């Protein structure tokens, strides 16, 4: 899976006073971004992370022995995991759940990727003769 982006995790442990989370956040990132991790469905993800929870279109991971919450959006077809929000367990419980769900777009449809238009055929039509 391709994880986008580690900068949110780094910001959490460097600037938000949660330095003790660095080891567990890095371990999660290293594991998930491994080339051998290829989740095709929610079931694949749940088999690997039994404590993960679906919230609308988001997946919430329990990190560090249930000490932290990592809100993500997983796009299975493109093999991408977007990190949307990182919180302590206390913040997660105290935070108005509808607010973070709205901020993260958990109930918004995933972005639609438009296909490139194919140019019209340059082959000329035969005329009857």
Reported as a single tens digit per residue, the pLDDT across 22-77 is: 889 999 999 999 888 889 999 999 999 999 999 888 899 999 888 899 999 999 99
Q: Is the pLDDT reported for residue 129 higher than 60? A: no
- The tens digit of pLDDT for each residue in 3-16 reads 998 888 888 888 77
**68 phi and psi, to 5 degrees?**
-130, 155
Reported CATH class of domain 2-104: alpha beta
- DSSP lists the bridge partners of residue 83 as 72
The answer, yes or no, to whether residue 82 has pLDDT greater than 90, is yes
pLDDT of 126 reads 64
pLDDT band at 110 (very low <50, low <70, confident <90, very high): low
- This prediction's pTM: 0.76
**Residue 20 neighbours by CB under 8 Å, 6+ apart:** 13
pLDDT of res. 46: 95
């Amino acid at each position: 899976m391709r994880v986008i982006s580690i900068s949110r995790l780094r910001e959490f442990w460097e600037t938000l006073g949660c330095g003790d989370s660095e080891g567990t956040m890095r371990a999660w990132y290293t594991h998930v971004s491994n080339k051998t991790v290829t989740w095709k469905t929610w079931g694949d993800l749940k088999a690997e992370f039994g404590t993960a929870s679906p919230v609308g279109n988001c997946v919430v991971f329990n990190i560090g022995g249930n000490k932290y919450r990592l809100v993500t959006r997983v796009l299975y077809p493109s093999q991408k995991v977007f990190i949307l929000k990182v919180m302590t367990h206390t913040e997660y419980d105290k935070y108005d759940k509808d607010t973070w769900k709205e901020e993260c777009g958990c109930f918004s449809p995933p972005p639609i990727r438009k296909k490139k238009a194919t140019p019209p055929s340059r082959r000329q039509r035969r005329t009857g003769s």
